[in-house]
Amino acid sequence: MLKPRETIAGLKPYHSPILSRDGLSLDLNESMAGCSPRVLARLHSLSAKHVSLYPQREAGERLLANFLGIAPEQVLVTNGMDEALSLVFTAYLDRDDELLFADPTFVMYPMLGAAVGAKVVRVQSQEDLTLPVDDLLARISPRTRVIAIANPNNPTGLAATRADLLKIVESAPHAAVVIDEAYFEFCGGTLNWRTLIPDLARHPNLFVARTFSKAYGLAGLRLGVLTGAAEHIDYLRRLSLPFNVNSVVLACLEEALADRSFVSEHVAQIKRGREQLAQLFNDLGLRFWPSQTNFVLVRVGHAAKTFVEAMKRRGVLVRDFSASPCCEGCVRITVGMPKQMDEVLPAIRESWAESLRA
Domain boundaries, the chain: 19-32+261-357, 37-258
| Residue 100 to residue 118: CA distance in whole angstroms | 10
Q: Which CATH class is domain 19-32+261-357?
A: alpha beta
Backbone dihedral angles phi then psi of residue 238, each to the nearest 5 degrees:
-65, -35
| Residue 185 to residue 181: CA distance in whole angstroms | 8
Strand bridging mode 98-103 / 119-124 = parallel
- Tell me the angle at which helices 80-92 and 230-239 cross, rounded to the nearest 10 degrees: 100
Question: What Rg do the C-alpha atoms of the chain give, in angstroms?
Answer: 20
**What CATH architecture is 37-258?**
3-Layer(aba) Sandwich (3.40)
Structure confidence at residue 23 (pLDDT): 83
Structure confidence at residue 332 (pLDDT): 98
- DSSP assignment of 88-145, as one string? HHHHH--TT-EEEEEES--THHHHHHHHTTPEEEEEE--TT----HHHHHHH--TTEE
Q: What's the 3-state SS for 2-56?
A: CCCCHHHHCCCCCCCCCCCCCCEECCCCCCCCCCCHHHHHHHHHCCHHHHHCCCC
Structure confidence at residue 37 (pLDDT): 97
3 state SS of 184: helix
Contacts of 211 (CB under 8 A, 6+ apart): 80, 81, 182, 223, 224, 225
Query: CB of 96 within 8 A of CB of 117?
Result: yes
| Residue 119 to residue 123: CA distance in whole angstroms | 13
| Residue 170 to residue 339: CA distance in whole angstroms | 45
Walk along the chain (358 residues) and give the pLDDT tens digit of each residue. 998 998 888 888 777 676 777 789 999 999 999 999 999 999 999 999 989 999 999 999 999 999 999 999 999 999 999 999 999 999 999 999 999 999 999 999 999 999 999 999 999 999 999 999 999 999 999 999 999 999 999 999 999 999 999 999 999 999 999 999 999 999 865 444 579 999 999 999 999 999 999 999 999 999 999 999 999 999 999 999 999 999 999 999 999 999 999 999 999 999 999 999 999 999 999 999 999 999 999 999 999 999 999 999 999 999 999 999 999 999 999 999 999 999 999 999 999 999 988 7
Strand bridging mode 316-317 / 24-25 = parallel
Which DSSP category does 174 fall into? T
Determine the Cα angle at 160 with ends 155 and 161, to 5°.
165
| Residue 37 to residue 229: CA distance in whole angstroms | 34
Backbone dihedral angles phi then psi of residue 302, each to the nearest 5 degrees:
-65, -15
3 state SS of 252: helix
Distance from chain centroid for Cα 110? 14
Structure confidence at residue 188 (pLDDT): 65
Which of these, 171, 147, 150, lies nearest to 97 by C-alpha position?
Answer: 147
The DSSP bridge partners found for residue 299 are: 287, 330
Query: CB of 139 within 8 A of CB of 171?
Result: no
